[in-house]
Amino acid sequence: MKNKAAIIFLITALSALLTGMLFGLFAALQYLIPEFLKELIPFHKMRPFHVTTVITWIVLCATGSIYFYLTQIEKLKLFSNKLMKLHLIVFLITGLGIYLSYIFGRMEGREYLAFTPILTIPILFGWLLFGINYFKTMLKQVKNWPVYYWMWGTGIVFMMIHLTEAHLWLFPYFREHVIKDLTVQWKSYGSFVGSWNMLVYGISIYVMARIKGNDAIGRGKLAFFFYFLGLTNLMFGWAHHTYILPTQPWIRYVAYGVSMTEWIILGYMIYDWKKNLSQTKKDSYPLAYRFLVTTDFWIFINLIIALLFSIPAINFFTHGTHITVAHSMGTTIGINTTILFASLLYIVSKISAFSKKQETLIKRGLWGFNITLFLFFSALLVAGAKRSHWMYAGNDTSFSNMQDSLFWVYMAFFVFGIALTTSISIIGLPILKKLINSLRV
């Protein structure tokens, strides 16, 4: 392959997914045997490893996919190949720096961005390089952008805004005021998820359009209406995280008003796409198609939870429990990961076809993925419901007793976690092998 940087982004992303799941299993082990290896791999150190690594999967896979589409599918001439390579090098070195900061205990950051804050500068620089390359390439060569180009551009810009906003606590004005600080922190996290969703959902629409063989899905008025609705959510729809904070009531009112409509957006688009897809096109890209159908199922499940979350009276009881974790696992694994796998399978189909045996293995892996994710997700819902019950109806027992009573639920969560890791490995390893082989061509 002529341009290898995009593939290296994808290989790093897949490696991060497989490693990140292992970190997650080690962290989950602490729920079962709290005393076990707690000095060597304590939860408070394993969790940042897990979270950073799986976020890396989403961000790098989206980035690599976009570079690949632009250069290999759309055959656009990048504004600068050197900038793309520099972007890759900056991210790889920063990634290494983040792990070193974790290994040596330099975790001055906060939840989701626990690394030492100085490392945010090269991350921002990397996004800036991506932004320059993207906009310089697209503005010069493409007129009348379909919606996915808008979404990718928006995602890149808001990634930079989010990263900056997430570090406002470095200024005393913010960190001295705890409620404001927490509000801004969680506002930026909402924007973070919204930003990567712009990249990932844009990818799903792109892959759908390519499978279908025409761009109508990304050019209609409805597509743009949903894009603007998504952008509104990215900007203003974060506050369901902070319903419970004693902020000014108007902040909470706005949040309730905007609520989470993002799932309706993508769910409708996939439904509409599937409805109009001919059997021939489905057969041309069987694996990518199957993963997008899976996305549809997980959108449906998470849509119900997301809509319930947006009602403060329900949010009141689910907030601060594993139900929130179930929702975030359902969206990052069930939705984002299936879309990104669809993207990878589409990319691999352009490089070298899978053998029948490999295809069968991936299809079985997908079945395993769906079943184990559903069980994993259900275990978290049960744990969350029990914790909520303890918080509001059983507070005469200690926290420790409540945790002990959840032992078998955590055991189920751990066992299903192992099964989910296995299923994802069954899907991911053949893709990883194909991508690595493509570098040798």
- Cβ 4 to another protein shortest distance, Å: 33
In this structure, the dihedral spanned by the alpha carbons of residues 237, 238, 244 and 249, taken in order and rounded to 10 degrees, is -50
DSSP assignment of 322-349: HHHHHHHHIIIIIIIIHHHHHHHHHHHH
Q: How far is CA 75 from CA 3, 68, 137, 322, 426, in A?
A: 12, 9, 11, 45, 32
Closest CB to another protein among residues 41, 277 = 41
- Cβ 398 to another protein shortest distance, Å: 9
Closest CB to another protein among residues 89, 231 = 231
Tokens representing residue 406 in the block: 């959840």
- Cβ 223 to another protein shortest distance, Å: 11
- Cβ 385 to another protein shortest distance, Å: 13
Closest CB to another protein among residues 126, 202 = 202
With H, G, I as helix, E, B as strand and everything else as coil, classify residue 19: helix
CA–CA gap between residue 258 and residue 269 (Å, rounded): 20
CA–CA gap between residue 372 and residue 332 (Å, rounded): 15
- Cβ 180 to another protein shortest distance, Å: 6
Q: How far is CA 88 from CA 55, 149, 245, in A?
A: 16, 21, 39
- Which residues here bind another protein, judged by CB under 8 A? 30-31, 34-35, 38-39, 42-45, 47-48, 107-111, 114, 143-145, 150, 168, 172, 174-180, 182-184, 186-187, 224, 228, 231-232, 235-236, 241-248, 251, 254, 256, 311-316, 319-322, 325, 387, 391-392, 399-400
Asked whether 203 and 148 are in contact (CB, 8 A), the reply is yes
Closest CB to another protein among residues 143, 275 = 143
* Residue 220: other Cβ atoms inside 10 A: 15
Q: Residue 118 phi/psi, 5° resolution?
A: -60, -30
CA–CA gap between residue 152 and residue 202 (Å, rounded): 6
- Cβ 414 to another protein shortest distance, Å: 13
* CA dihedral over 50, 56, 59, 60, signed as positive or negative: negative
Residue 192 identity (one-letter amino acid): F
- Cβ 300 to another protein shortest distance, Å: 22
Closest CB to another protein among residues 47, 87 = 47
Asked whether 238 and 187 are in contact (CB, 8 A), the reply is yes
How many CA atoms does the CB half-sphere of 244 hold within 13 Å? Answer: 12
- Cβ 73 to another protein shortest distance, Å: 22
- Cβ 340 to another protein shortest distance, Å: 26
Closest CB to another protein among residues 254, 439 = 254
Q: How far is CA 438 from CA 60, 76, 284, 339, 397, in A?
A: 18, 20, 21, 22, 58
Closest CB to another protein among residues 232, 370 = 232
- Cβ 337 to another protein shortest distance, Å: 22
CA–CA gap between residue 441 and residue 439 (Å, rounded): 6
Tokens representing residue 5 in the block: 């940087």
Closest CA to 191 of 229, 151, 232: 232
With H, G, I as helix, E, B as strand and everything else as coil, classify residue 140: helix
